[in-house]
């Protein structure tokens, strides 16, 4: 772990580093980068930054205010495991070149402000997060949409739909299929040969550890067709945001190395499980966990109030935690995802679960089960923390837990259990109506909220609404 610019410069010289890759995140949530030769890196760059044109970065300034600065953060450095030339990566903060202040639309800056706000409240000095981001690895993906046609096509050698496909030729020249296809919803988790991606996931896991991302486990997930999960050990908010970017980067590039393609799209397959990102969170102070107590499921009053804040603001939170139109193909009542805005110690149909694996106070945490991996992790986790803080400050009690099997509940009983928004548009409108809790401490600004809503409506919600869907032809062509 590096702590100073001088340590970085000494490492570059001693280890023969040939290039420096400077990375930052755009507004919706994709890593961006540019590369400089090592002789361009100096201690002054860490203090003063390097200029670049931000006009083409999604969701950022207009062309007349496009000049921006990147300031590398020494603690984030790692050697890239994929580049041909020895390259040191530095994650950067974005600053305004005129004022020198942190740029308010920089997602990493928003996460940093959320951590600082928690400390200023005196409620705690650390918020730990542990996301469980699922993903698919396919062998082939093709898609297109134009004025007169539109389609997508996915394929995987382990997909249940390929049980009858002729896949190869044996020594006699006859075609064959070796079987061992994972049946729908049965991918959790048989051994190879049914699990065809074990070695690839292990390489992902080991590569992540090599660049400083501690891993707890890797495994196949429920869906057929290459769904997987690799669990990162919990960490503070900003550190976890950095690690989630490394996570996506490594998974996509290792998959590419194997001639495959990885996606964090929440619902790529119809009829099987989508990819969620259950997020575990807790608040600590002076090295002590604050969510452990003698209340329901071993929770403290603070933890219950945090649950209350998350549930109260959940519809608005989903605008950041489930920020794509595809997210709501997963969040459908009666299917695999938790859409019930309630909490429970063991009921996975509730949107907030209290894990009960251990009685150790240090493991006591909340698990918010709605989010998916299409989110910008800095924004999603910052918003979650702000909702929890609001619940604690205002002592928002979450009410009674939902410990019953929802499938045994009558329609009348279910009617009183609130559910998540049914579309991205609904979530964005919820955010428009409920975002004062995010503005506290200037963590999110009104400009950030307005820009997020406008960007998502114009570029995603309306873009999808304007285009015919293939299934509409099935339903309506002969009408």
Query: DSSP secondary structure string, 87-110?
Result: EEEEEEEEE-TTT-PBPTT-HHHH
What does each C-alpha distance from 55 to 33, 59, 281 come to in angstroms?
14, 9, 35
Q: CA-CA distance, 75 to 87, in Å (whole number)? A: 16
Annotate 424-458 with b (16+ C-beta within 10 A) or e (fewer): bbbbbbbbeebbebbebeebbeeebbebbbebbbe
> Among all chains, which residue has been given the structure tokens 């938790």?
338
360, 118, 347, 218 alpha-carbon torsion, rounded to 10°: -70
Q: CA-CA distance, 231 to 38, in Å (whole number)? A: 34
- Does the CA dihedral 300-390-402-229 come out positive or negative? negative
Helix 301-321 vs helix 377-393: angle between axes, to the nearest 10 degrees? 140
Q: CA-CA distance, 371 to 382, in Å (whole number)? A: 13
Q: CA-CA distance, 303 to 364, in Å (whole number)? A: 9
Q: CA-CA distance, 228 to 216, in Å (whole number)? A: 14
Collapse the DSSP code of 446 into the 3-class scheme (helix H, G, I; strand E, B; otherwise coil) and give the result: helix
Q: Which residues are catalytic?
A: 53, 132, 134, 221, 229, 278, 348, 367, 369
How buried is 400 (Cβ within 10 angstroms: 0-12 exposed, 13-18 middle, 19+ buried)? exposed
425 alpha carbon, distance to own chain's centre? 20
């Amino acid at each position: 772990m590096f702590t100073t610019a001088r340590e970085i410069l000494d490492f570059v010289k001693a280890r023969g580093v040939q290039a420096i890759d400077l990375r930052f995140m755009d507004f919706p949530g994709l890593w961006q980068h540019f590369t400089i030769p090592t002789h361009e890196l100096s201690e002054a760059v860490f203090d003063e930054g390097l200029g670049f044109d931000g006009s083409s970065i999604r969701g950022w300034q207009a062309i007349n205010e496009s000049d921006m600065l990147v300031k590398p953060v020494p603690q984030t450095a790692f050697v890239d495991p994929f580049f041909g030339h020895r390259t040191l990566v530095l994650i950067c903060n974005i600053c305004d070149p005129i004022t020198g202040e942190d740029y308010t639309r920089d997602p990493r800056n928003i996460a940093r402000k959320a951590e600082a706000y928690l400390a200023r409240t005196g409620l705690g000095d650390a918020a730990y997060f542990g996301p469980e981001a699922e993903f698919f690895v396919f062998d082939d993906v093709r898609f297109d949409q134009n004025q007169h046609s539109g389609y997508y096509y996915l394929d995987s050698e382990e997909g249940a739909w390929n049980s009858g496909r002729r896949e190869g030729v044996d020594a006699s020249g006859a075609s064959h299929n070796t079987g061992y296809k994972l049946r729908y919803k049965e991918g959790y988790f048989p051994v190879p040969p049914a699990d065809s991606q074990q070695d690839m996931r292990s390489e992902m896991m080991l590569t992540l550890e090599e660049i400083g991302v501690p891993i707890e486990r890797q495994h196949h997930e429920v869906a057929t067709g290459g769904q997987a999960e690799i669990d990162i050990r919990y960490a503070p908010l900003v550190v976890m945001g950095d690690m989630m970017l490394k996570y996506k980067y490594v998974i996509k590039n290792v998959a590419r190395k194997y001639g495959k393609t990885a996606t964090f799209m929440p619902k790529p397959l119809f009829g099987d499980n989508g990819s969620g990102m259950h997020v575990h969170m807790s608040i600590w102070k002076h090295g002590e966990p604050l969510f452990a107590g003698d209340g329901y499921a071993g929770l403290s009053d603070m933890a219950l109030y945090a649950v209350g804040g998350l549930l109260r603001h959940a519809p608005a939170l989903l605008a950041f935690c489930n920020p794509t139109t595809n997210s709501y193909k997963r969040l459908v009542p009666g299917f695999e995802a938790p859409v019930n805005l309630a909490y429970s110690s063991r009921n996975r149909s509730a949107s907030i679960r209290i894990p009960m694996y251990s009685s150790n106070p240090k493991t006591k945490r909340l698990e918010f089960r709605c989010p998916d991996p299409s989110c910008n992790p800095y924004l999603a986790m910052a918003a979650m923390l702000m909702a929890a803080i609001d619940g604690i400050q205002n002592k928002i009690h979450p009410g009674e837990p939902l410990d019953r099997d929802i499938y045994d509940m009558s329609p009348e009983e279910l009617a009183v259990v609130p559910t998540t928004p049914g579309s991205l548009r609904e979530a964005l409108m919820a955010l428009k109506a409920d975002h004062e809790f995010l503005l506290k401490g200037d963590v999110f600004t009104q400009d950030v909220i307005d820009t997020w809503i406008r960007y998502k409506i114009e570029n995603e919600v309306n873009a999808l609404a304007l285009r015919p869907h293939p299934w509409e032809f099935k339903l309506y062509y002969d009408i």
